[in-house]
Structure 1
Amino acid sequence: MKRVLIGAIVMILVGITLVIPPALAEQPSSAVERLNNTLLSVMKKAEELGFEGRYQRLLPVITQEFDLPFIARYTLGSSWDELSDEQHHQFIETFRELSVVDYARHFDGYGGEHFTIEGQSPLPRSGMRVRSKLIDPDGSSVVFDYLLHQTDSQWRIVNVIADGVSDLAVKRAEYRHIMKTEGFSSLLNKLKQKIALYRGPADA
């Protein structure tokens, strides 16, 4: 009888483990912590890595922790539905490269800064907000509010608000305006021009 009970308990525990994905046990702040840790390591080795090294170090973590396909689609709004599958792919990949290039360009040195996680709070539609700070040795700081949602049983970042400025809102307004006035090809070319511009000075 004991063996039967023990076996039943084991099966229940195994069943619970199988039903609840490990990612759901994570807090939303875990995604931000992984991003912060990578950014800090890149900053500390910025000169040694060079621009391309920073880019390669940041690419996997930004791809993993951000829901880039969702963000790319959201920035274009209803215009997204007018594009072909190939255009969707082109835009997402260009958007991904621009996102990583932008981080590699901005986090290009270290002066004793450190990151903190200040807390998290719920948002409508089951989203979460995680507040983080980048604090300089002199005590000044930049506040980052990360907005996250769950996808594929994982918390992923969908927007970054730096000192009150929403990155998603800025891109949404800019990209939609270009789409309406100049079209998709022009938007894609402008993003590629930004990538080239950001890479150029950083490699110089």
Structure 2
Amino acid sequence: MNRKLAGMRVISLFIGIVFLLIAPSTFADTPSSVIDKLQVELLSVMKNAKKLGFDGRYKQLLPVVTETLDIPFIARYTLGSSWKSLTDEQSIQFVDAFQILSVSDYARHFDGYSNEEFNIEGEYPLKNGGIRVRSKLTNHDDTNVTFDYLLRNIDGNWRIVNVIADGVSDLAVRRTEYRQVIKTQGYDALLDQVKEKSKQYREAAIAKEGK
């Protein structure tokens, strides 16, 4: 092997190593692309809502919701300081129940389509290093719902930690409710309530579809 060929192979190897090192950060999702991924799936579910039914919508939304939302963080945050008192088993139980509730909530809300469109309007930096992405859902009657998604970066990946719909923070509402329940009634009561809420969402959606 001549020196020139050997040198070219060394350079090629070096370039390959550099590419592998920079590729994750170069091609990582942006905050807006994370929101777009979620909203594309929501529109797909809306357009096929009747065919899918609640269980079908739930099944289709489960992967994208768990991929774009930081469910463990959100579940932990809703309990505040009470989280520290949970055992490992209780923590896992609560995150699992909270995930089912979160996906069920999307499946019941996005249950039909009337030419709605999502439009991402921009990204705005937050003081804590996070990003706020604003998006609007335009309905057929020209009414809009404004969504502000708050995201944080976890090991190079952007994940949603709060959804604010027309100024109402889902995280703040849940945090106030859950902390009160766990304080006055205990963890077991809260877990039962979260599970019951998921059940109610499903039953109400199925009853609505049957009309």
User: TM-score of the superposition, structure 2-length normalised?
Assistant: 0.91
**Partner residue in 2 for 1:51:** 54
Once the 2 structures are TM-superposed, how far is the Cα of residue 93 of structure 1 from its aligned partner?
Answer: 0.3
Counterpart of 1:139 (choices 142, 148, 156) is 142
Match of 1:14 in 2: 16
Distance 1:65 1:21 in 2: 20
Instruction: Give matches, 1:75-90, under 5 Å.
Output: 75-90=78-93
Contact 1:21-1:153 at 8 Å conserved across structures: no
User: For the pair shown, which has the larger CA radius of gyration, 1 or 2?
Assistant: 2
Separation in structure 2 between the aligned mates of residue 85 and residue 79 of structure 1, nearest angstrom: 13
Deviation at 1:3, TM superposition (A): 3.8
* Cα 1:84–1:196 shift into 2, 3 Å: same
SS of the residue corresponding to residue 148 of structure 2 reads strand
Q: Deviations over 1:48-92 (max 9, x none)?
A: 000000000000100111000011011111111100000001000
CA drift of 1:18 comes to 2.0
User: Retained in 2: the 8 A contact 1:29–1:117?
Assistant: yes
Task: Measure, in 2, the Cα distance between the counterparts of 1:48 and 1:99.
Answer: 22
8 Å CA contact 1:24, 1:153 repeated in 2: no
2:66 pairs, out of 63, 67, 76, with: 63
CA contact (8 A) 1:67 1:156 kept: yes
Q: How many Å separate the matches in 2 of 1:74 and 1:65?
A: 17
Per the TM alignment, residue 8 of structure 1 is displaced from its structure 2 partner at its CA by 4.5
- For 2:141 and 2:63, the matched residues in 1 are separated by 32
Q: RMSD in angstroms over aligned alpha carbons?
A: 1.5
Unaligned runs of 5+ in 2: none
* 2:194 counterpart residue number: 191
**1:73 aligns to what?**
76
Give the unaligned 5+ runs of structure 1: none
Secondary structure of the residue aligned to 1:155 is strand
1:162-181 correspondence to structure 2 within 5 Å: 162-181=165-184
Q: TM-score, with normalisation over the residues of structure 1? A: 0.94
The aligned counterpart of 1:105 is 108
Aligned length: 204
